[in-house]
């Protein structure tokens, strides 16, 4: 299956084998992995990840994650990736995440991608609630989530063990009714 849709300046689509050089480069960067649940990737890990995601069903079956490429709409240049997960116990509840290569950060691409992903989730999948977690030290991610309309619901102290230390996380969420309300 090949999944793709336009979201302003970006296209969200399945990851492809041709994405490997760019994907491997940013996923290997320790600064990119710093606030993520993954360690810097090796080339082999990046290749295996893309092989496992290429052509994946979107959305994935409830309880599973699917990773989507964030590509520039005009030339299909890989900029990063975003994740979508629907909960097994309630598939109308979901979670999302995002990773963007450093050279594309701060240019509005992540905002376009998350807005597009939210639109897809609420309009196409009839999701009721979308959630995102962010390390409290990741101020650009906090600003991004708030800029697309997510509301901070909680501050969880020592909620995860990442990179050898306990970290605090903020939980953000958005309901379909909030997304659809006039802004």
Which domains are assigned to the chain?
Answer: 4-180 (3.40.630.30)
d(CA 87, CA 81): 20
What residue has token string 């295996």? 48
Contact predicate 131/90, CB 8 Å: no
Confidence at residue 4, expressed as pLDDT on a 0 to 100 scale: 92
Model confidence at 113: pLDDT above 70: yes
- Higher pLDDT residue, 1 or 114? 114
Spell out the residues 6+ positions from residue 112 whose beta carbon is closer than 8 angstroms to its own.
7, 8, 9, 10
The pLDDT value recorded for residue 54 is 84
Q: How far is CA 19 from CA 14, 41, 118, 130, in A?
A: 10, 14, 24, 27
The answer to whether 172 touches 152, Cβ cutoff 8 Å, is yes
Taking each helix axis from N to C end, the angle separating 139-147 and 109-119, rounded to the nearest 10 degrees, works out to: 50
- Give the chain's mean pLDDT: 95
pLDDT of residue 107: 96
Q: Give the percent of the chain with pLDDT over 70.
A: 98
pLDDT given at position 183: 61
Check pLDDT > 80 for residue 182: no
Q: What gap in Å lies between CA 24 and CA 50, rounded to an integer?
A: 9
Check if the beta carbon of residue 80 is closer than 8 Å to that of residue 72: no
> How much is the pLDDT for 160?
84
User: Rounded mean pLDDT of 19-47?
Assistant: 95
In whole angstroms, what separates CA 1 from the centre of its chain?
Answer: 20
Convert the pLDDT of each residue in 47-61 to its tens digit: 999 999 988 999 999
* Widest distance between CA atoms in the chain: 46
CA angle 148, 152, 154 (to 5 degrees): 155
What percent of the chain stands above pLDDT 90?
91
Whether 24 shows a pLDDT value over 80: the answer reads yes
């Amino acid at each position: 299956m090949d999944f793709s849709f336009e979201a302003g300046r970006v296209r969200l689509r399945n990851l492809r084998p041709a994405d490997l050089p760019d994907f491997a480069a940013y996923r290997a960067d320790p600064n990119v992995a710093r606030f993520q649940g993954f360690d810097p990737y090796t080339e082999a890990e990046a290749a295996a990840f893309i092989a496992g995601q290429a052509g994946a069903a979107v959305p994935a079956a409830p309880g599973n994650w699917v990773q989507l490429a964030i590509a520039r709409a005009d030339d299909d240049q890989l900029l990063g990736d975003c994740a979508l997960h629907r909960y097994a116990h309630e598939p109308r509840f979901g979670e999302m995440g995002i990773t963007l290569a450093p050279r594309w950060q701060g240019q509005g691409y992540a905002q376009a991608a998350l807005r597009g992903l939210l639109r897809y989730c609420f309009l196409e999948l009839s999701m009721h609630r979308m959630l995102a977690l962010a390390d409290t030290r990741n101020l650009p991610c906090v600003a991004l989530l708030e800029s697309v309309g997510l509301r901070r619901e909680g501050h969880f102290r020592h909620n995860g063990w990442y990179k050898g230390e306990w970290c605090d996380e903020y939980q953000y969420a958005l309901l379909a009714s909030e997304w659809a309300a006039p802004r």
